[in-house]
Amino acid sequence: MPVIRFLLPIIAWMLLAVTPARAQLTIEIIGGAGTTIPISIVPFENESSWPLGMTGIVGADLTRSGLFKLIDYAGITPRPSRADEVKTGDFRARGADAVVVGSMRAVADGRVEVRFALVDAVKNAQLASMTYTVPPAQFRATAHKIADVIYEALTGDPGVFSTRIAYIAKQGSRYQLFVAEADGYNPQSIVTSNESMLSPSFSPDGTRIAYVSLESKKPVIYVQSLETGQRRVLANFHGSNSAPAWSPDSRRLAVTLTKDGGSQLFLINADGSGAQRLLSSQGIDTEANFTPDGKSILFTSDRGGTPQVYRLNLGSNSVERLTYEGSYNVSPRATPDGKGFVFVRREGSSFQIAIQDFATRQVQVLTSGPRDESPSVSPNSKMILYAAEQGGRGILAAVSSDGRVKQRLVSPATDVREPAWGPLPR
Amino acid sequence: MQKILLAALVLALVVGCKSTDTQQAAPVEEGAGTTAAPGAGGASTSGVGTGGVSGQPGGSGAMSPLRDPRNILSKRIVYFDYDSFVVKDEYRAMVEAHARYLQANRSAHVTLQGHTDERGSREYNIALGQKRADAVKQLMLVLGATQAQIETVSFGKEKPRSEGHDEGAWAQNRRVEIIYVGE
């Protein structure tokens, strides 16, 4: 298990070096992809002059994706720090298809120049290189950026290591909404309440987060600025206000309101004005989610007798049922690649995450339950973050959209739920 | 040695005070950015507390029928079967008593708070709890209460009465609570 062998020192280092923040998540990899890209990451020249291990973070990011295998560089001397110093034969002999090298150098006003290059050891060619000049406070962000560049160069998909996630943590009777880095680091509490919160959702432009809070003894939707922490009520109408979902342009949200009777879908401007009803149905319509082109909305409805996933075409106002197998298919989330959606299905008494293709209607069940819920898809459509239960406690988990890579995000002594994956940084 | 102990004690005290301070100063919300922003609208969590209801019962200074444990109006919870929104016969007399009270006291208002068991999607459960609250409301309207006196809201599965994970617990949690406004 080379992955584990690599991770253990990192996990040990995390435990020792980092101030334990409340609700810090630690990511465990449970299963990996069938094929992985063997990559050797050589510690950057002068990296040890600073406390944070830059290449360790890059390696942990890539490993966590399940698509990479780290190849030991030990024994290669002198250690290369530039692309033209890489003797690809040495790395090929160890099984590496790609090599990462780099250097760090102090420059003016405490900033550090970080250079790195990615070398294709098979073709003996440089694939990417970047230089960042950053203060040490930006080291983690820089490591994530480097991992993003490597991931994209070698897989063809954008990396999501620089994104953020949000989740709700419950400790005793206290609820907190946290925003953290995608690897679980630097969790920051942005709301604390004595009543439950649910359904956090990042605006696609990354500036705000919408969520539902029960602090005023009923569901009320808020939109909060991530920069200033200031929030405003988005919807506090008579009855319940819930299930906020941003439009791709971040200007409007689809929400579920009961002000006119029943749970019904409305569109509302991001400042809370102009609520207009989208549909009229006898039963429940809720859990709206825009498709990435903004032209339709997926939602859950019991109009057919059992809760199923439907699609509303906003142009023609026509509604089409999308799920047919089983008696409980809910919480649809369109994948950003536009190809399909993930949702929660019930099989017997087990709730599982599944993915359905729009074109073929084929369903693939990705998790085994028993209490999996609240899926959220990464911006590159490759991973799905969801809430699960382990030992009677809520945890977060992630699965790749092909079902092969599985991760658990564990936070000690805290009940964690309602994950949301943020957009790619702009 | 004693000095060190004393220093440690002082430090512990300072740390203790500090954490208490922060807890009291910012119970509601703080920004991910820099400043701690007070809750816009002020409502947020402050003044809401943990659900321990205090305050005065509506009506006169005499024992309110709403509070009298011998009066059916002191009963406030309607329980539901699994996947059901039907108010069972055993709760009809209680719901009717509340409807008649609202009919006789037009200034009285209630919130009907719907709840579900823990199974399934949080948001879909909000909608299911709403449907239960709406079912109780419909019955109250038929029996003499008016629209303006009733607000139906839902907590979904967010506030279970029983934390268990079996049918016994779930049956406790599928419910509508009748709450008089200002009570």
Sign of the alpha-carbon dihedral angle for A242, A247, A248, A249: negative
Are A234 and A134 found together in one domain? no
pLDDT grade for A22, boundaries at 50, 70 and 90: low
Question: For residue A31, how many other CB atoms are within 10 A of its CB?
Answer: 12
Per-residue pLDDT at A9: 39
Per-residue pLDDT at A410: 80
Tokens of A83: 């692309």
Q: How many helices and strands, by DSSP H and E, does chain A display?
A: 4, 30
Residue B121 and residue A242: Cβ atoms within 8 Å?
Answer: no
Are A386 and A317 found together in one domain? yes
The answer, yes or no, to whether residue A286 has pLDDT greater than 80, is yes
What total of structural domains would you count in chain A?
2
Are A169 and A150 found together in one domain? no
Cite the beta strand spans of A135-263 per DSSP E: 164-171, 174-181, 188-193, 197-202, 208-213, 220-225, 231-235, 241-246, 252-257
Q: What is the CATH number of the domain that holds A30?
A: 3.40.50.10070
Q: What is the CATH number of the domain that holds A178?
A: 2.120.10.30
- List residues of chain B with CB under 8 Å from any CB of chain A: 26-33, 35-37, 39-41, 43-45, 48-50, 111, 113, 119-124, 126-128, 130-131, 134, 151-156, 158-159, 165
* DSSP code of residue B91: G
Q: Specify the 3-state DSSP secondary structure of B160.
A: coil
Lowest mean pLDDT among A68-77, A406-415, B41-50: B41-50
Of A218, A219, A307, which is closest to B124 when you measure between CB atoms?
A307
Comparing CA positions, the residue from A94, A142, A143, A86 lying closest to residue A118 is A86
Residue A225 and residue B113: Cβ atoms within 8 Å?
Answer: no
Domain boundary among A155, A177, A210: A155
B91 φ, ψ (degrees, to nearest 5) = -105, -5
Tell me whether A391 touches chain B (CB under 8 Å). no
Asked, for residue A14, whether it belongs to a domain, the answer is no
Residue B151 and residue A239: Cβ atoms within 8 Å?
Answer: yes
Per-residue pLDDT at B56: 40
- Could you read off the pLDDT of B99-109 as tens digits, one per residue? 999 999 999 99
From A179, which residue of chain B is nearest by alpha-carbon distance? B32
Tell me whether A307 touches chain B (CB under 8 Å). yes
How many inter-chain contacts (A to B, CB under 8 Å) are there?
163
| H-only helix segments in chain B | 2-25, 92-104, 122-142, 167-173
Asked, for residue A15, whether it belongs to a domain, the answer is no
**Domain at B77-180: CATH architecture:** 2-Layer Sandwich (3.30)
Tell me whether A370 touches chain B (CB under 8 Å). no
As a whole number of angstroms, the distance between CA A217 and CA B83 comes to 24
Q: How far is A81 from chain B (nearest CA, A)?
A: 36
- Could you read off the pLDDT of B121-178 as tens digits, one per residue? 999 999 999 999 999 999 999 999 999 999 999 999 999 999 999 999 999 999 999 9
Are A412 and A286 found together in one domain? yes
Mean pLDDT for A418-426 is: 95
Range of the domain at A325: 164-421
B168-174, long-range: CB within 8 Å, 24+ apart, which pairs? Answer: B169/B117, B170/B82, B170/B117, B170/B118, B170/B119, B171/B79, B171/B117, B172/B79, B173/B115, B173/B116, B173/B117, B173/B118, B174/B79, B174/B80, B174/B81, B174/B82, B174/B84, B174/B115, B174/B116, B174/B117, B174/B132
- Could you read off the pLDDT of A30-84 as tens digits, one per residue? 666 568 899 999 999 999 999 989 999 999 999 999 899 999 998 898 999 999 9
pLDDT grade for A25, boundaries at 50, 70 and 90: confident
Residue B32 and residue A229: Cβ atoms within 8 Å?
Answer: yes
pLDDT grade for A401, boundaries at 50, 70 and 90: very high
Residue A195 and residue B124: Cβ atoms within 8 Å?
Answer: no
CA B163 to chain CA centroid, Å, is: 16
Asked, for residue A261, whether it belongs to a domain, the answer is yes
As a whole number of angstroms, the distance between CA A319 and CA A313 comes to 6
Per-residue pLDDT at A389: 93
Residue B124 and residue A287: Cβ atoms within 8 Å?
Answer: yes
Are A227 and A170 found together in one domain? yes
Per-residue CA distances from A17 to A13, A24, A51, A52 (Å): 6, 14, 9, 9
Q: Tell me which amino acid residue B36 is.
A: A
From A328, which residue of chain B is nearest by alpha-carbon distance? B120
Q: How far is A144 from chain B (nearest CA, A)?
A: 20
Mean pLDDT for B36-60 is: 34
- Per domain, the residue ranges of chain B are 77-180
Environment class of B167 (CB within 10 Å of its CB; exposed 0-12, middle 13-18, buried 19+): exposed
The strands making up A373-377's β-sheet, listed across from edge to edge, are A26-31, A406-410, A393-400, A383-390, A373-377
Q: How far is B31 from chain A (nearest CA, A)?
A: 3
Q: How far is B40 from chain A (nearest CA, A)?
A: 6
Radius of gyration (C-alpha) of chain B in whole angstroms: 22
The answer, yes or no, to whether residue A18 has pLDDT greater than 60, is no
Q: How far is B11 from chain A (nearest CA, A)?
A: 18
Q: ∠ at Cα A263 (A260, A269), nearest 5°?
A: 75
B interface mutation test: which of A22, A192, A346, A353 has the most B CBs within 10 A? A192
- Could you read off the pLDDT of A183-221 as tens digits, one per residue? 999 999 999 999 999 999 999 999 999 999 999 999 999
Asked, for residue A257, whether it belongs to a domain, the answer is yes
- Could you read off the pLDDT of A267-284 as tens digits, one per residue? 999 999 999 999 999 899
Q: Which A residues 27-46 touch B at CB under 8 Å?
A: none
A245 φ, ψ (degrees, to nearest 5) = -140, 120
As a whole number of angstroms, the distance between CA A336 and CA B110 comes to 44
Domain boundary among A133, A155, A177: A155
Distant-in-sequence, close-in-space partners of A409: CB < 8 Å, separation ≥ 6 = A25, A26, A27, A28, A184, A385, A395, A396, A397, A398, A416
Are A211 and A149 found together in one domain? no
Domain boundary among A103, A122, A155: A155
Residue A190 and residue B152: Cβ atoms within 8 Å?
Answer: no
Are A196 and A216 found together in one domain? yes
As a whole number of angstroms, the distance between CA A13 and CA A28 comes to 15
pLDDT grade for A392, boundaries at 50, 70 and 90: confident
Per-residue pLDDT at A12: 37
The answer, yes or no, to whether residue A344 has pLDDT greater than 90, is yes
Per-residue CA distances from A53 to A2, A25, A69 (Å): 19, 19, 19
Q: Are A215 and B41 in contact (CB under 8 A)?
A: no
As a whole number of angstroms, the distance between CA A139 and CA A142 comes to 5
